[in-house]
Chains A and B, each alone.
Chain A
């Protein structure tokens, strides 16, 4: 059963109010990747857990404030956007289900993956630094 939308809405908005594109369905994810197939793209697998609130979302937003970043950023929500999440996960099958997590694509192909344990107990600044290192490899 999905989380109540009124519970997750503020967690979605933390990203979408800052320019991250909301992808609620598998079709939306496919269209997003197709639209950005000649660029770099990132999909944030958002979640209700504490490390998403304390480290992942603020760290991701901090990282996107720099010059080196993906051309396009989208987000899906674990436990709510079920088909969208399953589709994103299917693109990197070697990665166990993990949320929050971050998937990066270069010219439409998976290029980097950041699992949940990178965010656990982390500070936003450390998360941002980790992500910036990955962004540099996308260009």
Chain B
């Protein structure tokens, strides 16, 4: 079950983890997914080792407590994306 905007895709309004082929991961509320990439609102970006946290530690912490929305809007390019999962599906 998504939100009321059925034309925006199943992940619209859902907080997702976007893994990439770079050293960064993104967590944010999905707006839309297009061939260009994934559009996130209220997002955060974490680089491996940033603030002493690995990407996995960062994701687990976000799954337990939520994420701090530091980036109002961002597009993660499709050619960087390796996986998109709902944050609620991440094991804490």
Give the B-binding residues of A (Cβ under 8 A): 50-51, 54-55, 94-96, 98, 101, 113, 115-118, 120-123
Contacts and interface: CB of A to CB of B under 8 A. Distances in A.
Given A50-B3, A50-B4, A54-B1, A121 B66 contact: no
B13 interface: yes
Most buried by B among A51, A95, A113, A121: A121
A119 B2 CA distance: 11
A96 B42 CA distance: 12
Interface residues of B, number: 17
A95 B66 contact: yes
A116 B66 contact: yes
Interface in B1-54: 1-4, 13-15, 29
A23 B1 CA distance: 31
A113 B66 CA distance: 10
A117 B87 contact: yes
B88 interface: yes
5 contacts: A115-B64, A120-B15, A120-B88, A121-B13, A121-B14
Contacts of A121: 1-3, 13-14, 86
A59 to B, nearest CB: 12
Contacts of A116: 15, 66
B65 A117 contact: no
Interface in B39-92: 64-69, 86-88
A56 to B, nearest CB: 13
A122 B89 CA distance: 11
Nearest to A92: B65
Given A96-B66, A118-B88, 19 more contacts: A50-B3, A51-B13, A55-B1, A95-B66, A96-B65, A96-B67, A96-B68, A96-B69, A113-B65, A115-B65, A116-B15, A116-B66, A117-B86, A120-B15, A120-B88, A121-B2, A121-B3, A121-B13, A123-B1
Given A50-B4, A54-B1, A120 B13 contact: yes
Nearest to A113: B65
